Amino acid sequence: MKMDAKIENCCVDNVKDELAKSWAKKNLEIEIGIIMGDRETSSNEEKKIKEYVLSSVKKRKFHCLLIQAAMYNRTVTVRELVNKGVASRESVEGFIKECEDANWISVSRIKGQRRITAKPILVDLYVKYCTWLADTYYSAELSYLTSSMKYLKSLNDDHECVNLVDTSV
């Protein structure tokens, strides 16, 4: 006998909750690994850069914005960095001095403004970091959890009958 029965909404919600919790647990392990600098570096210079960037949130913001600018063939000014909430002007000036002395960034004057960009070593190291991150997410199987969550949501959004099951034997 073919009969449609409703799956209780609490069951669907429980599955969603469990998927979200599983994803969060695995992602937290990865985030802790990022913060702790777990990824390996291939040179002393890369290690110095990694340690510098991980030493504070402000330095991480500073580097991310410079790398982003370099990837789009742009430069940034001190004012832009301060306005984007990287840090105070004084701190940004300190970051610029440290990074320029380390030969990680380029600073030039254009129309009376200092224009700053990341050197290729920062961009290359960021690409390596992203490759490590993608591999880490893949090996943690977060893509499967994400796909499951997305699929469950699409069923709920796209199909009114998602809560109906065939109970025929």
Summarize the chain as % helix, strand, coil (round to 5): 65, 10, 20
For tokens 């994400």, name the residue: 146
pTM more than 0.85: no
Measured CA to CA, the distance from residue 26 to residue 30 in angstroms comes to 7
Q: pLDDT tens digits for the chain (169 residues)?
A: 444 444 455 676 778 888 889 889 999 999 999 999 888 899 999 999 999 999 999 999 999 999 999 999 999 999 999 999 999 999 999 999 999 999 999 999 888 889 999 999 999 999 999 999 989 888 888 878 888 888 877 776 655 554 555 555 5
Report domain extents, the chain. Answer: 4-159
Q: Which CATH architecture has domain 4-159?
A: Orthogonal Bundle (1.10)
